Structure 1
Amino acid sequence: MKKGLSIVLGTVIALSLTACGNGATTAPKSAESTKPAQTTVKKYTFGTDATFPPFEFQKDGKYIGIDIDLINAIGKEEGFEVEIKPMDFKGIIPAITAKQLDGALAGISITDERKKVVGLSDPYYQAGLSLVVREDNTTIKTPDDLKGKVIAIKKGTSGAKLAEEYGKKYGATIKHFDDSPSMYQEVANKNADVTIEDFPVISYKIAVDPNSKLKIVGDRLDSDFYGIAVSKDNVELLDKINSGLKKLKANGKYDEILSTYMGKSTK
């Protein structure tokens, strides 16, 4: 009898120990151990010239425009954050080469000269330069009319380079400015005869500012394309930008951004 009782008690104890053991190994993990691993999102700093509507400008204390919306949309597609740093256009390329910026969007024309010092994305907008005069000017219609004239231009732009060529060819005087509004005002005030500006930019300016006193004359002087600039050795960022551009053009977001600022059929 005692032997039988011992066997029964032994069996009960063994089963109890087994149950305790199973409970210990299957207990739910702590909330801390089940948290997903934190991933760090990269942030890139992009320079821009905030006096270049409709591509970049300031409104109600915020930077907006085609370029600003575009890089933010690319960042969303490719999983990186964007910090915008406004600055004079002439300082943008030097800031990239000095690694003070990761990249820049500022209506930057893709040229062989710029390709030597920075990486440039696939083209995202076809622009072209135009002659711009005061609205009552009837003497300037083509570059051949620039003989002895005064050309106002913004430093570091494709328009500035073309103006220098016209200066040598036609004996025109060149007056340099740090921003677009200053060169526009110089023409409006009759202190300069003409300026050279990107067609979409000056078209937008005249459309939204009926008091600009400016008009576009003649055909476009060239047909350049805008690109996003990055440090020449930052292949990773350039690949992300090109990938993001393709996605935005495919899903319709690119067209949506353009139409927000320039209406339809603006490419």
Structure 2
Amino acid sequence: MRRLPVLATSALAGALSLTACTNAVSEGAGGNGGTSDASAAAPSYDVSTIGKVDDIAAKLPADFDGTLTVGANLQYAPAEFFGGADGQTPTGYDVDLANALGRVLGAKVEVAHAEFASIIPGIGTQYDAGISSFSINPERVAEVDMISYISAGSTYSVQAGNPKGLDAADLCGTTMGVQTGTVQDEVVDRLSADCQAKGAEPIEVLRYTSQADVTTNLVGGKIDVMYADSQVGQYAEVQTQGKVEQLGEVTDTAPQGIVVAKDDPELTAALQAAMQHLMDEGVWQDILATWGVSGALDSAELNPTV
């Protein structure tokens, strides 16, 4: 989950740059975020059957040029990553969502890859919107408008059948893999410190730049536990053909949102109405089902309180 922690106002600029992709030293070295694994036989939702809704399209700004440019960090399967036969095609449920929104609005959609930290600063200039697993929080809402569309949490995953008999309530002494820059990357050190505080063995943390590498090392047995977003864990079950499974319940759920500039209320209204339409018609739920994940919200709220 790409979540921003609560920070002092003076640190806001730095806070907005927290991302699921960092320059931290890690075990993994995949230059493209390991997306070659993630894109193997990746599904895709056919948006061609979605028609333009004139009443919603009419909400677009008068000067809208017909192309919706969406900023996304394409290194975060299954939400957004490079896929396709060439390994360079924007792919994922967020990409399918962007294309579905474009169909409702009668707009062409261009998904532009960007460093996660650069997307919010580029909203309104480089990008019309950002759809890239942005967790909604007060710090971001102070800078941009956010339209809720999915709920994500954190999950532990283990090898299928839980051969080591692990308990989600006590993972002290295990080897845990996380992707650098995620909220799980931040939390895992606190979990390990809690273990030591009660006299138990600490958690050995292995960090990877690529989520695909975390999953691969779980299947291979190098790590005991994978700690990731709930949708990432669900997708790992699909991609590994059931070689991993969820351990325990989803925790720390929070909504994610489509990002739009605060000085672009007409575009915000159009995207919010289009998102609500996709929810009401069941399209958004079907997109997620295509990817084998859940978490669809049924109300596209603007800047919800979290």
One fold, TM greater than 0.5? yes
Alpha-carbon contact 2:154-2:184 (below 8 Å) kept = yes
State the distance in 1 between where 2:69 and 2:117 align: 16
5+ long unaligned stretches in structure 2: 1-62, 196-201, 297-306
State the distance in 1 between where 2:145 and 2:263 align: 8
Alpha-carbon contact 2:77-2:211 (below 8 Å) kept = yes
Deviation of residue 70 (structure 1)?
1.1
Give the TM-score normalised by structure 1: 0.68
**2:213 is equivalent to residue 182 of structure 1:** yes
Structure 1 counterpart of 2:53: none
Alpha-carbon contact 1:74-1:241 (below 8 Å) kept = yes
Alpha-carbon contact 1:187-1:193 (below 8 Å) kept = yes
State the distance in 1 between where 2:262 and 2:165 align: 44
Structure 2 counterpart of 1:157: 182
Q: Which moved more, 1:227-236 or 1:69-78?
A: 227-236
CA-based RMSD: 3.2
Deviation of residue 235 (structure 1)?
4.3
**2:119 is equivalent to residue 95 of structure 1:** yes
What is the number of equivalent residue pairs in this alignment? 223
Structure 1 counterpart of 2:240: 209
Q: Which amino acid aligns with 1:191?
A: K
Structure 2 counterpart of 1:105: 131
State the distance in 2 between where 1:39 and 1:126 align: 30
Deviation of residue 187 (structure 1)?
2.5
- Identity among equivalent positions (%) equals 22
Deviation of residue 195 (structure 1)?
1.7
Considering fraction of residues, name the structure with more helix.
1
Structure 2 counterpart of 1:193: 224
Decide whether aligned partners of structure 1 residues 120 and 173 sit closer, same or farther in structure 2, where only a CA change above 3 A counts. Answer: farther
Give the TM-score normalised by structure 2: 0.61
What secondary structure does 2:136 align onto?
coil
5+ long unaligned stretches in structure 1: 1-37
Structure 1 counterpart of 2:273: 243
Alpha-carbon contact 1:47-1:101 (below 8 Å) kept = no
Alpha-carbon contact 1:93-1:118 (below 8 Å) kept = no
Q: Which has the larger radius of gyration?
A: 1
**2:258 is equivalent to residue 228 of structure 1:** yes
Deviation of residue 194 (structure 1)?
1.6
Give the structure, 1 or 2, with the largest relative contact order (CA under 8 Å, sep 6 or more): 2
1:43 to 57, 64, 68: 68
What secondary structure does 2:118 align onto?
helix
2:99 to 61, 72, 89: 72
Deviation of residue 193 (structure 1)?
2.5
